[in-house]
Amino acid sequence: MAYWLFKTEPDAFAIDDLARANTLWEGVRNYQARNFLRDQVQVGDRVFIYHSSCKQVGIAGIGKVERAGFPDPFAFDPDSPYFDPKSDPAAPRWYAVELAFERKLPLLPLAALKANPALSGLPLVQKGCRLSVMPVSEAEWQAILAME
């Protein structure tokens, strides 16, 4: 089992929304993040849900992967804001996974994550990181849980 961190803007989709129902994690339009979703995220992996671009940025909870990478259906839907005419169903460009809710965490603020020396290798805390899907090592996972 592997560990991940997924970013989301809570105004659009928050941990409380995940708590209500499973969700497709779709609309990821970055190749590095896509590669993780397509090639490495597996059923049973656990995921920190990070709230970005909001009042209180930080890790807000934990999800669990219910379904591994499959072609992002929104990329084929002309009515979706995530539509990408260059994504060919025969060779899909973008991928999604399905997530289930595990539990909420007391919000662990970005500033606290940055201040934790055990997390200095996590892309999230590095300058200008725009990666929205990133691996978390076992040691980092445990270090973050210890901040609860």
Minimum distance from CB of 23 to DNA (Å)? 17
**Of the candidate residues 14, 118, 131, 147, the single one contacting DNA (CB under 7 A):** 131
83 binds DNA (CB under 7 A): no
By C-beta, is 57 or 107 nearer to DNA? 57
Q: Could you give the string, one character per residue 21-40, with x where binding to DNA holds by CB under 7 A and - elsewhere?
A: --------xxxx--------
20 binds DNA (CB under 7 A): no
By C-beta, is 20 or 127 nearer to DNA? 127
By C-beta, is 29 or 46 nearer to DNA? 29
Is residue 57 within 8 A of residue 138, CB to CB? The reply is no
**Single-letter code of the amino acid located at 106:** P
Determine the Cα angle at 32 with ends 5 and 23, to 5°. 45
Is residue 95 within 8 A of residue 38, CB to CB? The reply is yes
For residue 33, give the H/E element and its range: helix 31-39
Q: How far apart are alpha carbons 10 and 39 in whole angstroms?
A: 26
Q: How far apart are alpha carbons 128 and 61 in whole angstroms?
A: 23
Residue range at the interface with DNA (CB under 7 A); choices 12-20, 52-60, 66-74, 75-83? 52-60
Is residue 133 within 8 A of residue 4, CB to CB? The reply is yes
Q: Which residues bind DNA (CB under 7 A)?
A: 7, 29-32, 52-53, 57, 110-111, 127-132
